[in-house]
Amino acid sequence: MHFTDTYLPRRDGVVTSLRTLHAAQLAAGHDSLLVVPRHREQRDEPGLLRLPALACGVADLRLARWPMTTRRVRERLVADLSAHRPEVVHVHTPGPAGLLGVLVARRTGAALVQTYHTDLHAYADAYKVPGWALRLLLRVYAGRLGEPRPPTGCRTTTLTAGNRLLLGDAGAVVVPTRAVLDRIDLPVPAERIVLAPTGVGPRTATPAEAMAFRTGYGIGPSDPVVLFVGRVNREKGVDLLIPAFARIARELPSARLVLIGAVYEQRWLNRLLRSVGPAVASRIVLTGQQPPRVVAQAYAAADVFAFPSRTDTQALVLQEAAMAGLPAVLADPSLHRHGVLAGNAVLAEPAPDSFADAVLGLLRDRRAARRLGAAARASAAGHSPERYADTVQCVYHEAVKLRSRVGVLEAAAGG
């Protein structure tokens, strides 16, 4: 059973990783159930269990509301989910759905596996989440798990205590890249941490489809295109990319910046666009969130992929761009060094001029850009969805064996 606080129609790296794994598990003949927050625009699909949920007001997230229900309702929910008798509970996010997964694992004795997808410290800083809100949330979590209230303090201390609370039972904690370990000291024994990058299959589009994408957004056939895919939000480094593009547009007036992704802070984005002036803003295309087919066309239509985020732990869009042969510019040295592209991208300083220089270098030297794109594609191709699913399956087997040994010891101690 998989538990996640983010799912369709919202699109992000967690959703992509989870759906990749779920599809591979079903194809291999395993029972795989997804427990997700309910959304009115979700479509029915095999193995989808939806929890009553409420919008939380941040990035279109919907949070399962079960922690705030009565004890009787909570017990019934845990009992209903436990009736599926999972061998493994895989928790992908630390929200209410993830907390529910920990409870189900405890109730059933299933092996618990967690994936640490999100740099919680970076996101809390980016959104300026108040310390009191985190402390309140931690108290609720401890209460629902029947644990003593953990010590709290500053935001970092509180988040670390939350990680210890959620990850403490895990037989394995999967991290998608070593960038996670560069940023965060996970409160988990080193032997239980497993590196397993999500695999991404190729997203192909024909030259005609790529040209149709350009035409549809008023982009000329020879206009240089810089592409960004992801939430158009502050934690993704958009406030670095837009000023950098202002410099690019001054030197290459025909250049276009295409931003594909949902916009959740429109006023913040409007301020950024006003700051670069109408001439530059008119060269920026905002498409909103798009289905995979359209994103594939954008990769094929672009010349450079811009990834200014310094909060991502894996950045699946980097792999998708690489599979399309698109060279990338990054601002995160850890992701550049330890990510699945294995350094086959240009690393820029997290400053507009440096980032602009890196993008301009690739736009002006198309031969070097093609070589870099080919090298990136070769690196990304080594991380297929099948390889990812096989790695996670091995993690499950080890977690089940560990849980069995612990069970035997607990039974002996009880006797």
pLDDT tens digits for 289-346?
Answer: 999 999 999 999 999 999 999 999 889 999 999 999 999 999 999 999 989 899 999 9
Burial class (CB in 10 A: 0-12, 13-18, 19+), 79: exposed
Determine the Cα–Cα distance for residues 290 and 298; give it in Å rounded to an integer: 10
Amino acid, res. 51: L
245 and 116 together in one domain: no
Determine the Cα–Cα distance for residues 32 and 379; give it in Å rounded to an integer.
29
Please confirm whether the linkage preceding 9 is cis (ω < 30° from 0): yes
Residue of 361, 338, 367, 339 lying closest to 348 (CA atoms): 361
Same-domain status, 260 and 248? yes
Same-domain check for residues 195 and 241: no
Instruction: Identify whether the C-beta of residue 51 lies closer than 8 Å to the C-beta of residue 38.
Output: yes
Q: Are residues 115 and 232 in the same domain?
A: no
What was the pLDDT predicted at 409? 64
How far apart are alpha carbons 113 and 93 in whole angstroms? Answer: 11
What one-character-per-residue DSSP string does 313-339 give? SS-HHHHHHHHTT--EEES-HHHHHHS
pTM of the model: 0.91
Residue-range definition of the domain harbouring residue 176 = 2-199+385-414
Quote the number of domains for the chain.
Answer: 2
On whether both 262 and 324 belong to a single domain, the answer is yes
Q: Specify whether 363 is located in the same domain as 389.
A: no
Tracing tokens 């991502």 back to the chain, one arrives at 312
Give me the sheet containing 225-229, strands edge to edge.
284-288, 256-260, 225-229, 304-307, 328-330, 346-347
Question: What local confidence, expressed as pLDDT, does residue 408 receive?
Answer: 62
pLDDT at 411: 64
Residue that the structure tokens 């500053």 belong to: 154
Measured distance CA(56)–CA(18) in Å, rounded: 22
Give dist(CA 257, CA 284) in Å, integer. Answer: 5
Q: How far apart are the first and last CA of the chain?
A: 31
Supply the CATH number for residue 92's domain.
3.40.50.2000
Closest CA to 209 of 300, 130, 146: 300
Residues 222 and 304 in one domain: yes
Residues 84 and 125 in one domain: yes
- Whether 214 and 221 have beta carbons less than 8 Å apart is answered as yes
Residue 225 φ/ψ, nearest 5 degrees: -120, 125
pLDDT on residue 247: 98
- Do 16 and 119 lie in one domain? The reply is yes
Matching residue, tokens 């965060």:
184
Residue 24 sits in the same domain as residue 141: yes
Of 19, 9, 2, residue with least CA distance to 316: 19
Residues 6+ apart with CB under 8 A from 284: 242, 245, 256, 257, 258, 259, 273
- Residues 365, 395, single domain; the answer is no
* 219/345 same-domain check: yes
Residue 380 has which token pair? 């990304």
Q: Burial code of 101-116, b = ≥16 C-beta within 10 A, e = fewer?
A: bbbbbbebbbbbbbbb
Low-confidence ranges of the chain (pLDDT < 50): none
For residue 27, the one-letter residue type is A
